[in-house]
Structure 1
Amino acid sequence: MVRPLQYREIEAFRAVVQTGTTTAAAQLMNTTQPSVSRLLAQMQAAAGVKLFGMYKGRLRPTQEAMELYSTVEQHFVGRDVIERELAVLRQSGAGSLRIGCTPALALSVIPPVIGNYLKQYPGAHLSIQSLGGNELRDGVLHGKFDLVLSTMVLATDALDATVLHRAQGVCVMHPDHPLAKRVNLHVQDLQDQMLVTLNASDSIFMQLQQKMMAFGVTPGATIETNYSSTICRLVAQGLGVGVVNPYMAAMFAQDLKILPLQPECSIEVVLAVPPQYEPSARVDTLTELLRAQFLTY
């Protein structure tokens, strides 16, 4: 009786045309030879035309079968394309993983995390852009980044941000600096010292400025820069005392004396993702790797 063909029957038909035997077709379909033979018989009955004949122990397709196979193959080519695309997505996700972060984190925290990430997704393509807080916020809101990481405030009414790590600013100086003999420093110890600071808009600088004003501390001279790495390089040359985040200080630990500062200048590392998209498995993986990395500080 002629009836609509079932997908499994079509799959068996295609496998037999490609391999020439029901045994080989069964291996291709990961099933048994009797199952393939049954599906083939069902399809031939449903199709209402002869599809195969036996020739020297092999199934030989009829001309009608080959015309049908041409149509079937077009369908399966589309499915194969889908399967290949899924395989790529399983391995490395859609396109590139676009990461935005502040410069200090790009230099300190991100490199070892990316190394661990690529062990799990060796074929992945990554884009890492280091920008200021406003650029990161605008970028993630407009879907230009899959994930952003910042030591600056990101949260707005339109964007939620998760705190990944909390820390305190540290003082950095040359190991031969007079203050390097101390176990820790109080902001009053900065009186008359050459101070290397971040720009006035930076959270660490604003907190430090408030604490110096509260204790009546006046530095002897100041050098202002917009990068924590520059502060570390300058003080490593013996140019004063700086206050930076502990992530960047750790990068220069062999060249610097690092001391805790009281009262504390608090630091929060926040993570945000585009609010219009559900985070992918790749983003979830990177987030967990970041959490693990911050446990080392």
Structure 2
Amino acid sequence: MSRPLNFRQIEAFRAVMQTGTTTAAAAMLHTTQPSVSRLLAQIQNATQLKLFDIHKGRLRPTHEARQLFDTVQRHFLGLDRIEQSVAVMRKSGTGSLRVGCTPALGLSVMPKVVHAFSLLHPEVHVNLQTVSAHPLREGLLYGLYDVALTTSVINDPQIEAVSLHRANAVCVVHPAHPLAGRAGLHVRDLKDQVLLTLNADDEIHQQFLGTLQQHRIEAAATVETTYSVTICMMAAQGTGIGIVNPYVASVFARDLKVLPLLPRCPVEVSMAFSPQSAPSAIAEEFARLLKVYFHEFPRPAVQKAQPAQKTQMTQRASRLKD
């Protein structure tokens, strides 16, 4: 009865078939010629097949040996493909990164972080989707995103969200607005003003509305919209005073006056990985770059771009790459 073959026996047989001699096979496998000969004898005994004979002092493979070699080659070609795949994944994870975030963070945070990430992994395909809080949660649950970033609370026991940054909502106004010269605005200063706010279901709006009611403040009028970007653009037109998170406000800091709001209206940025699988190496690296970004936030509001100089995020990315 034949016995199972082990990998060393198969490797020795393949090396002999490729090189033609046990001496050359031994050199290829970094072992000794007697060791290869012993492994050949073992494989012939185990298979109960005659695989070689001696012809004019040289090993000569039989027909059975050539058939076996074809099978072995297909096996090793499969191993080679596995090793190539492992090498690619070791270098760049799965080769793609799927990121989801809320629109305000997609405008303010993600451009810098994605740029820094692309310096580290220019070969990785990044898919960035900006969606509202509910589709973001659903996308995480169904494995559509590897990592997600949001300023909304993720209420789901399957998703473990971690806090990356805490800040407070701010007011944005046109530089010529009568209140633009203030160091900050209290809700009492908003009486009889035109207020630009997010929709009623937004968490910032709900907190802000509660503060207005607490202080019995009534606005002259309210313009309600879906996106913080729209609020900033309307404020830049002089339409009124906008209430937004500080991240999107930083994008418009050159065109608007960004003023602290009192009492404080907390804003928290949370990050979560998909619960469907363990995070890949590139997803974890992207998460580290997000942490770097928020560690450096806020930056100076007015700073001329210098093409020849790298941003702090880019410098950090370069150090990680080295």
TM-score bracket relative to the smaller structure: 0.7 to 0.9
Alignment-mate amino acid for residue 42 of structure 1: R
Do the aligned partners of residues 9 and 202 (structure 1) sit closer, same or farther apart at CA in structure 2, a change above 3 Å counting?
same
- Distance of aligned partners of 1:73 and 1:262 in 2 relative to their CA distance in 1, 3 Å threshold: same
Counterpart Cα distance in 2 of 1:290 and 1:150: 12
Are 1:143 and 2:143 counterparts? yes
- Residue correspondence of structure 1 range 273-292 to structure 2 within 5 A: 273-292=273-292
What residue number does 1:40 align with? 36
Deviation at 1:176, TM superposition (A): 2.0
125 and 52 in structure 1: CA distance in 2 versus 1, 3 angstrom threshold: farther
Map of 2:233 onto structure 1: 233
- Does the CA-based 8 Å contact 1:5-1:43 persist in structure 2? no
Gap runs ≥5 in structure 2: 298-322
Residues 157, 64 of structure 1: alpha-carbon distance in 2 compared, 3 angstrom cutoff: closer
| Unmatched 5+ stretches in structure 1 | none
Deviation, 1:5, is 4.1
Counterpart contact for 2:19–2:25, Cα < 8 Å:
yes
Write the mapping of 1:240-279 to structure 2, written as runs, cut at 5 A: 240-279=240-279
1:183 partnered with 2:179: no
Deviates more, 1:277-286 or 1:196-205: 277-286
Report the residue type matching 2:289 in the other structure: L
Q: Secondary structure at the match of 2:167?
A: strand
CA distance in 2, matches of 1:3, 1:197: 77
Aligned residue number for residue 161 of structure 2: 161
| Paired residues of 2:168 and 2:264 also in contact (CA < 8 A) | yes
CA deviation map 1:98-154 (0-9, x unaligned): 222110111111122222223333322222211111111122122222222111111
| 2:77 paired residue number | 77
Q: Which segment drifts farther, 215-224 or 275-284?
A: 275-284
> CA shift at 1:63, angstroms?
4.7
Distance 1:258 1:27, change over 3 A: farther
* Cα gap change, 1:243 to 1:42, in 2 (>3 Å): same
* CA distances 1:223-246 after superposition (whole Å, capped 9, x unpaired): 211111111111112222111111
Q: 1:263 offset after TM fit, Å?
A: 0.6
Q: SS at the partner of 1:181? A: coil
Compute the displacement of 1:211 (Å).
1.3
Give 1:21 deviation, angstroms.
Answer: 6.7
SS at match of 1:111: helix
Structure 2 contact 173–180 (Cα < 8 Å) conserved: yes
C-alpha deviation, 1:4, in angstroms: 5.1
Distance 1:211 1:16, change over 3 A: same
Q: Is the contact made by 2:100 and 2:131 (CA closer than 8 Å) also made in structure 1?
A: yes
Structure 1 residue 73 displacement after superposition: 0.5
2:145 is paired with a residue of what secondary structure? coil
Distance 1:276 1:233, change over 3 A: same
Indicate conservation of the 8 Å contact 1:91/1:124, yes or no: no
CA, structure 1 residues 41+160, in 2 after alignment: closer, same or farther (shift >3 Å)?
Answer: same
Structure 2 residue matching 1:129: 3-state secondary structure = strand
SS of 1:180's equivalent?
Answer: coil
Structural mapping, 1:197-236, within 5 Å: 197-236=197-236
Q: Deviations over 1:54-99 (max 9, x none)?
A: 999x987555543321111011122122222222322333363222
Give 1:293 shift.
Answer: 0.9
When residues 184 and 129 of structure 1 are mapped into structure 2, their CA distance, relative to the original with a 3 A threshold, is same
SS in 2 for 1:255: coil
Task: Say if 1:195 and 1:219, in contact at 8 Å, map to a contact too.
Answer: yes
* Residue pair 2:99, 2:129 contacting (<8 A) in 1 also: yes
Q: Is the 8 A contact 1:92 1:122 kept in 2?
A: no
Query: Aligned letter for 2:41?
Result: A
Contact kept in structure 2, 1:96 and 1:124, CA below 8 Å: yes
Instruction: Describe the superposition over 1:260-287 as per-residue Cα deviations: whole angstroms up to 9, x where unpaired.
Output: 1111110011122333433232322222
Number of aligned residue pairs: give it: 291
Percentage identity across paired residues of the two chains: 48
Q: TM-score, normalised by structure 2?
A: 0.80
Measure, in 2, the Cα distance between the counterparts of 1:24 and 1:191: 91
TM-score (norm 1): 0.86
CA 62–139 in structure 1, closer or farther in 2 if over 3 Å, else same: same
What RMSD over aligned residues (CA atoms) do the two structures have, in Å? 2.7
Render the CA deviation track for 1:205-259: whole Å, top value 9, x for unaligned: 1111111222222222222111111111111122221111111011111111111
